[in-house]
């Protein structure tokens, strides 16, 4: 029986390596991989062992920064991109064939993908895969799972629980005595310990009183990028007195007697059972490995925050972001769609319009009806200079110059679709995107 379980896990892990040592991969032929991992995922013990094996093979990692999110849901995808993904995918059934492939670039812990799969009609029609350089799990929610066994914590309101977990997570992740600094100073020893074995989170929680002893606050969720700097700062703090009274009291109790709040059953359990990861359809690899997929084989490709750190660098000749979009254009089938909020170069201070011009040149040379679109909507407070009409995402429609499939599936009435060519030729609009008119000047330079 034990050998059978090991064989199942070994087979499941093989699914993650599909992109290794293969070329011209047609994902439509690998729908059985989804079922293999789903069968393991439905058994809590098998899943825990799978996650341990994945960790040992360096496939699994905790999020490396406290403000990284790998558990965004579809509602957040809507707000970030301006497109209702579930409605869009549902409407694509009219122009696609059963078994066609949806591919997400950077699915985090797979939370949004699991929401998509919860729609039975979509799950039975499409095969949903994702490419991830690493499969990350959220430490914040893991702390909540561990504390949930504590009756005192369990009696708190949901808001108080959220405040406790957020505070404790940041205390553990940052160097002792630095939690109120403007910059983030990570505790590399703690991160290394849970990277090597997530069960090390238990002793770290059991000794949290050492770090809590001189902590007066933690960074809030809202950092800022000064106009004179590229580095994000965190001047705003959350102090104990800012929390719900019950949350503040719980943290004080945790500081005095942490051992009273860590249940012995949890200490002796396998913490891998608590990981919030949905691994179905995940493929481990660099985004550039999308080149290994068959041309004209993908119905819908999307990325929310996944392509943010890809950069075009003219000095080195490395065009990571625009090259990816050009590759995706080849991989999309007729009628296929690509959606990406990575056009916002980290926090929306700059928009990658020159990069999109490079993609537009490829489209122009193909003489097809492929079209670049820009989804515009309300700006993100603290990020976008234009709060009424910021660029939220970019889309490509393969073989179509009709934006109706996008405009019919917008998040709400505040968002609208414009062609990319229309946007870059609108000087007045480009000048509203930042106070220095840098985005406009970059477009002028790229087109001169």
Q: Give me the domain span that covers residue 230.
A: 139-274
104/183 same-domain check: no
| pLDDT for the residue numbered 1 | 46
For the chain, give the number of residues. Answer: 448
From the CA atom positions of the chain, what is the Rg in Å? 23
- Does 229 share its domain with 193? yes
The C-alpha atoms of residue 189 and residue 45 are separated, in whole angstroms, by 29
Q: Are residues 171 and 42 in the same domain?
A: no
Q: Are 274 and 142 in contact (CB under 8 A)?
A: yes
- Are residues 291 and 196 part of one domain? no
- pLDDT tens by residue, the chain, 448 residues: 444 555 556 678 888 988 987 889 999 999 988 988 988 888 888 888 899 999 888 889 898 889 888 999 999 999 999 999 999 999 999 999 999 999 999 999 999 999 999 999 999 999 999 999 999 999 998 999 888 888 899 999 999 999 999 999 999 999 998 888 888 899 999 999 999 999 999 899 989 999 998 888 999 876 666 555 556 778 889 999 999 999 999 999 999 988 888 876 666 678 888 888 999 999 999 999 999 999 999 999 999 999 988 999 988 989 999 999 999 999 999 999 999 999 998 666 799 999 999 999 999 998 788 999 999 999 998 789 999 999 999 999 999 888 999 999 999 999 999 999 999 999 999 999 999 999 999 999 999 8
Which CATH number is 42's domain given?
3.40.50.150
Pair (315, 236) in one structural domain: no
Could you give the CA distance from residue 431 to residue 441 in angstroms, rounded to a whole number? Answer: 9
What's the predicted TM-score (pTM) here? 0.90
Q: Are 214 and 287 in the same domain?
A: no
The verdict on 157 and 30 lying in the same domain is no
pLDDT for position 230:
59
What distances in angstroms separate CA 31 from CA 14, 107, 128, one per listed residue?
14, 18, 9
Tokens of 362: 């490829």
User: Do residues 120 and 155 share a domain?
Assistant: no
**Helices of type H across 238-289:** 245-256, 264-267
Question: How many domains does the chain contain in total?
Answer: 2
Burial group, residue 221, by CB count within 10 angstroms (0-12, 13-18, 19+): exposed
- Which domain-ending residue is among 241, 256, 274? 274
Give the end of a domain, one of 223, 256, 274.
Answer: 274
CB atoms closer than 10 angstroms to residue 16: 22
Q: Which tokens go with 422?
A: 């229309």
pLDDT the model gives residue 424: 97
Same domain, 241 and 369: no
Neighbours of 182 (CB within 10 A): 14
Residues 6+ apart with CB under 8 A from 322: 312, 352, 355, 356, 358, 359
Per-residue pLDDT at 227: 53
Listed in sequence order, the residues at least 6 apart from 193 whose beta carbon sits closer than 8 Å to its beta carbon are 200, 204
* Contact yes or no for 322/57 (Cβ under 8 A): no
Together in a domain, 166 and 269? yes
Last residue of some domain: 274, 299, 316?
Answer: 274
pLDDT on residue 347: 60
The reply to whether 270 and 347 lie within a common domain is no
Q: Residues 362, 310, 429, CA angle at the centre, nearest 5°?
A: 65
Note the pLDDT of residue 171: 95
Do 36 and 163 lie in one domain? The reply is: no
């Amino acid at each position: 029986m034990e050998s059978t379980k090991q064989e199942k896990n070994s087979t499941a892990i093989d699914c993650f390596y599909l992109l290794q040592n293969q070329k011209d991969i047609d994902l439509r032929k690998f729908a059985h991989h989804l079922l293999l991992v789903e069968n393991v995922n439905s058994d809590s013990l098998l899943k825990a062992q799978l996650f341990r094996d994945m960790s040992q093979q360096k496939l699994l990692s905790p999020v490396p920064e406290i403000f990284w999110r790998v558990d965004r849901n579809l509602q957040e995808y809507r707000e970030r991109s301006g497109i209702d993904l579930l409605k869009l995918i549902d409407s694509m059934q009219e122009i696609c064939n059963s078994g066609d492939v949806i591919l997400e670039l950077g699915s985090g812990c797979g939370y949004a993908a699991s929401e998509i799969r919860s729609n039975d009609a979509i799950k039975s029609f499409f095969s949903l895969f994702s490419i991830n350089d690493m499969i990350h799990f959220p430490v914040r929610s893991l702390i909540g799972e561990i504390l949930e066994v504590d009756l005192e914590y369990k009696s708190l309101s949901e808001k108080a629980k959220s405040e406790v977990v957020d505070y404790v997570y940041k205390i553990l992740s940052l160097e002792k005595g630095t939690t109120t600094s403007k910059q983030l100073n990570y505790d590399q020893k703690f991160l290394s310990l849970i990277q090597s074995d997530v069960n090390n989170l238990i002793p770290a929680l059991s000794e949290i009183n050492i770090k809590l002893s001189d902590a007066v606050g933690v960074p809030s969720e809202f950092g800022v990028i000064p106009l004179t700097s590229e580095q994000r700062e965190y001047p705003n703090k959350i102090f104990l007195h800012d929390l719900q009274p019950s949350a503040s009291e719980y943290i004080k109790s945790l500081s005095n007697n942490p051992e009273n709040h860590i249940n012995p059953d949890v200490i002796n359990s396998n913490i891998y059972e608590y990981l919030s990861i949905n691994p179905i359809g995940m493929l481990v690899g660099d985004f550039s490995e999308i080149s290994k997929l068959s041309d004209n084989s993908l119905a819908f490709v999307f990325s929310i925050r996944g392509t943010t750190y890809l950069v075009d660098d003219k000095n080195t000749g490395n065009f990571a972001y625009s090259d990816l979009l050009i590759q995706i254009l080849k991989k999309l089938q007729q009628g296929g769609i690509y959606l990406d909020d990575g056009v916002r170069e980290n926090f929306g201070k700059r928009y990658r319009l020159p990069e999109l011009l490079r993609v537009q040149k490829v489209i122009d040379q193909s003489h097809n009806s492929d079209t670049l679109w820009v989804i515009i909507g309300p700006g993100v407070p603290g990020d976008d200079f234009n709060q009424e009409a910021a660029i939220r995402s970019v889309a490509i429609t393969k073989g179509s110059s009709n934006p109706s499939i996008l405009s019919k599936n917008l998040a709400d009435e505040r968002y609208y679709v414009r062609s990319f060519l229309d946007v870059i030729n609108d000087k007045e609009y480009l000048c509203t995107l930042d106070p220095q008119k840098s985005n406009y000047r970059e477009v002028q330079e790229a087109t001169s």
